[in-house]
Structure 1
């Protein structure tokens, strides 16, 4: 019997000379047929059900964004109709953020000052003041889900 043929493959991923490489040593008898295929492969192809689920989730997210935009536009219209000044409008916007995050007049910390700064374009001190004003609005009856005005406006 003849000595086996030894084939050694040394693979280093492109652009990663210091990365782990693959060392493969094959032993075969002389005359044996040996086929080796190396190819790149990505993540497994998704099934039709997974693709449908992903598309449904994308559509749900788009619909949620649309509803939020409509609610913000309605709130802005109501604020404008009520002839509120910019500070009052910002306080109501913060109140809506608090309610949307699951907070209430006694639980305003569900929205961080950083989030308020970003949402209304205010400095940290002003964001804290607006959050406190929003708490007072909520405590006074302001409910952005059912009415735009506190009970004191009636």
Structure 2
């Protein structure tokens, strides 16, 4: 999980052709939507991100097998006791997932909608709510102006 992406990609190319193809297909897919072309510095960063995404995907598969929660045999006072605790790989894996998404957004490859549409949805809901308030206030002013004109 902490290996240099360039070394991982080289290793995959030599030892795991399916994994290497997965990374390169992912790279090509992102590159289609990217605001830059192959061979640029940002494209090199994108390739590293794809390798990190592969590492996260692989680690998630391992975590599913070992479980999000694990059983340990830890000291409990003077005796050993069985305990259930969070899998220690969970925190760095979550951090790496967020980093991959953030880097894709920074490169302009992944829209905020794809990774964090909740914030946009909240902003849209607030705008709609404010528009409704403005319409209600305008309607109220219009009604009071009509009543004043009728009283005259």
How high is the TM-score relative to the length of structure 2? 0.27
Bigger RCO of structures 1 and 2 (CA < 8 A, at least 6 apart): 2
Report the structure, 1 or 2, having the larger helix content.
2
Q: Which has the larger radius of gyration?
A: 1
How high is the TM-score relative to the length of structure 1? 0.27
